[in-house]
Amino acid sequence: MSDGEVRYIRDGKIATVIFDRPAARNAMTWAMYEQLAQACARIAREDGLRAAVFRGAGGKAFIAGTDIAQFQAFRGGEDGIAYEEKMGSRLAAIEALPVPTLAVIEGFAIGGGLAIAACCDLRIATPGSRFGVPIARTLGNCLSMANYARLVAGFGASRAKRMLLLAENLSAEEALASGFLSEIVAPAELDRRVGELTERLTHNAPITMRVSKEAIRRLMLAGVLESDDLSRACYGSEDFRIGMKAFVDKREPVWTGK
């Protein structure tokens, strides 16, 4: 299967970042994460941009998480900590962008894909979209503390616990009710609505928007605690190795609690 691509397009004052690996529901490879970092760096340095749009290719998924096959190279808890640190820098780069960001979600926003959407300032989705982090059912790993904070901020503690403990995927309607989504848009109207929102953003005061984004980012970071011990406990566990092997083999894992 293709390693995929993260494509960058600029049209006047609007940048668009496209996650392009539809055969795998746009699941992110290491190469795609690197291209995402490059796209963010480009947005941050280009003159005249007023907004950035993030969306998946193919119409079936925003991003269905990180490609789990890549975790087979992990050998212990320190690999998990290094992974979370590297992914944390990619996500932080989205949050720190100086222009407003809009996630356009069609279909699945799962795991790392949900985290990327959560880093955007505004989010719209089609009615059939689904949001979740089913790692308690699939892989047996954990999130970074920053990503836990993003889930709680976006969905509230109760819905975040349903995602994480029951491994439930929430509907677009629940995501809207929680405030994670700003609106649900019919597929036929999606491009038109993206155009309307980005046009509105281009007419607002850019410095006010940049400063407001940065103020909220700083408030969020003030509550993020250290979590290396939690990452080490999951990524260094026997259950993580069991979950990873079971996922690749397309079978249900049998957890041991070790």
CATH of the domain at 132: 3.90.226.10
Coil, strand, or helix at residue 96?
coil
Tell me, what's the pLDDT at 20?
98
Is 199 a domain residue? no
Calculate the CA 77 to chain-centre distance. Answer: 22
Is 208 a domain residue? no
Tell me, what's the pLDDT at 1?
59
- Please give the full DSSP string across 6-53, using - where no structure is assigned: EEEEEETTEEEEEEE-GGGTTPBPHHHHHHHHHHHHHHHH-TT--EEE
Calculate the CA 186 to chain-centre distance. Answer: 22
Is 233 a domain residue? no
Is 212 a domain residue? no
Give CA–CA dist 175/193, Å, rounded: 18
Is 91 a domain residue? yes
Tell me, what's the pLDDT at 82?
87
Calculate the CA 124 to chain-centre distance. Answer: 14
Give CA–CA dist 9/217, Å, rounded: 26
Instruction: List the single range of 39-48, 52-61, 102-111, 232-241 with lowest mean pLDDT.
Output: 232-241
Tell me, what's the pLDDT at 242?
92
Is 236 a domain residue? no
Question: What share of the chain in percent tops pLDDT 70?
Answer: 100
Residue 99: domain span? 5-188
191 token code pair: 């491009």
pLDDT for 191-211, tens place per residue? Answer: 999 999 999 999 999 999 999
Is 254 a domain residue? no
Instruction: Please determine, for residue 2, whether its predicted confidence score (pLDDT) is greater than 90.
Output: no
Total domains in the chain come to 1
Give CA–CA dist 121/129, Å, rounded: 18
How far, in Å, are 175, 178, 223, 246 from residue 140 at the CA level? 24, 26, 25, 11
| Residue at 248: amino acid letter | V
Instruction: Please determine, for residue 17, whether its predicted confidence score (pLDDT) is greater than 90.
Output: yes
Is 247 a domain residue? no
pLDDT for 114-126, tens place per residue? Answer: 999 999 999 999 9
Mean pLDDT of 11-26: 97
Give CA–CA dist 16/28, Å, rounded: 17
Give CA–CA dist 248/33, Å, rounded: 21
Tell me, what's the pLDDT at 125?
98
Give CA–CA dist 161/157, Å, rounded: 6
Contacts of 110 (CB under 8 A, 6+ apart): 61, 63, 64, 65, 130, 131, 132, 133, 134, 169
pLDDT for 123-176, tens place per residue? Answer: 999 999 999 999 999 999 999 999 999 999 999 999 999 999 999 999 999 999
How does the average pLDDT of the chain come out, rounded? 94
Q: Is the pTM of this model over 0.85?
A: yes
